[in-house]
Amino acid sequence: MSTHSADARAVREELIVKLTAFDRLPAMAGTVTRIVRISADAQDAVPALSALLLKDAALSQRLLRLANSSVYRRPNAEPVTTLSRAIMVLGFHVIKTNALAMLLADGMRGRKGQHVRTELGLALAASVAARELTRHAPFEDIEEAIVAALFRNIGRLLVAAWDDALYEEIARLAATDGLTPRQASTQVLGCSYETLAEGVLRAWSIPETIIYALAPIHARVLKPAQSRAEWMQQVATFSATLAAALPAIDDPGYDLESEALLERFGAALNLDAGRLAVLSATAISESDALRMHV
């Protein structure tokens, strides 16, 4: 290993220690890992997820309120009063991902500056978009893409919560000095946001398939994926890109921002203007609803 690589690794590891030293994060990380590892394919998946979530009474109540909100509850439907019922009605992955999002927000409690709220909103919107894409996936067992989308900006989120000034300096360099966000974060932190996110998730024992899906894609136009892992990576990248673009989209599916998204991701993810419009609307409505409960 070169001296430069060793120095970069040391910087990253020091940052990880600092960024995960918040009062709530160590306990949160353990719960996040246990939830992530519960697979919908397991025979006891629903009772296992219900039992784990019930250990946190406040989280359980917030999930039930969300399940009974206008976004998820059908007109004239019976109220959802148990977590197992919520999982059956809303779907395993909706409850699982929303629980992870709430835990992530809880870990940031007390650090609710504007940048933290912005990054949390991006994470929520990205997870909703990824979940919608998995409904028509060309591969099986790809639900981890939803978790990958949720964690796609975990590096930025943690830096925003840890040191607002560093976060703003990275944004300033990217906006005014012609640097990419990867270059700007490396210059300020000593490692990129992506490298930091990978290190944090490894420290949390998040599965390798999810960590792989977080790797950046540099191709300008994506081709249809040849493997499950590649498809998950494309979904995580698209979902994060869409979430960041939503504030600038004024005619979903048909404006310039939408055209840029379709040019890059359309062929790879079988997207057209109509489907992108639906994805955008769903990501906005459900992430807004979730933000009211985190």
Per-position DSSP letters for 188-207, written without gaps between them: HHSS-HHHHHHHHHHHTT--
**71: confidence class by pLDDT, cuts 50, 70, 90:** confident
Q: What is the mean pLDDT of residues 112-138?
A: 88
| Highest mean pLDDT: which range of 104-108, 167-171, 265-269, 290-294 | 265-269
The full set of domain ranges for the chain reads: 3-291
H or E, element range at 240: helix 228-245
Tens digit of each residue's pLDDT (9 = 90 or more) over 179-237:
898 999 998 888 889 988 888 888 888 999 999 999 989 899 999 999 999 999 999 99
Residue 3's pLDDT is 47
273 membership: H or E segment, kind and range: helix 273-291
- Long-range interactions of 11-16: CB distance < 8 A, separation 24+: 11/189, 11/190, 11/191, 12/190, 12/191, 12/195, 12/196, 12/199, 13/199, 15/189, 15/190, 15/191, 15/196, 15/199, 16/196, 16/199, 16/200, 16/203
Domain 3-291 has CATH 1.20.1090.10: no
pLDDT score of 64: 93
Q: Looking at mean pLDDT, say which of 17-31, 67-81, 226-240, 280-294 comes out highest.
A: 226-240
158-184: per-residue pLDDT in tens? 888 888 888 999 999 998 888 898 999
40, with CB counted inside 10 A (0-12, 13-18, 19+), is middle
Which pLDDT score, from 0 to 100, does residue 101 have? Answer: 87
Helices (H), 40-192: 45-54, 57-67, 83-90, 92-107, 114-134, 144-150, 154-162, 164-176, 181-189
Mean pLDDT computed over 255-271:
96
Residue 134, pLDDT > 70, answer: yes
Whose tokens are 């769903």? That residue is 282
| Of residues 146 and 7, more confidently modeled | 146
Burial class of 282 by CB neighbour count within 10 A (0 to 12, 13 to 18, 19+): middle
pLDDT the model gives residue 191: 85
- How far from each other are the two terminal CA atoms of the chain, in whole angstroms? 43
Specify the pLDDT at position 4. Answer: 47
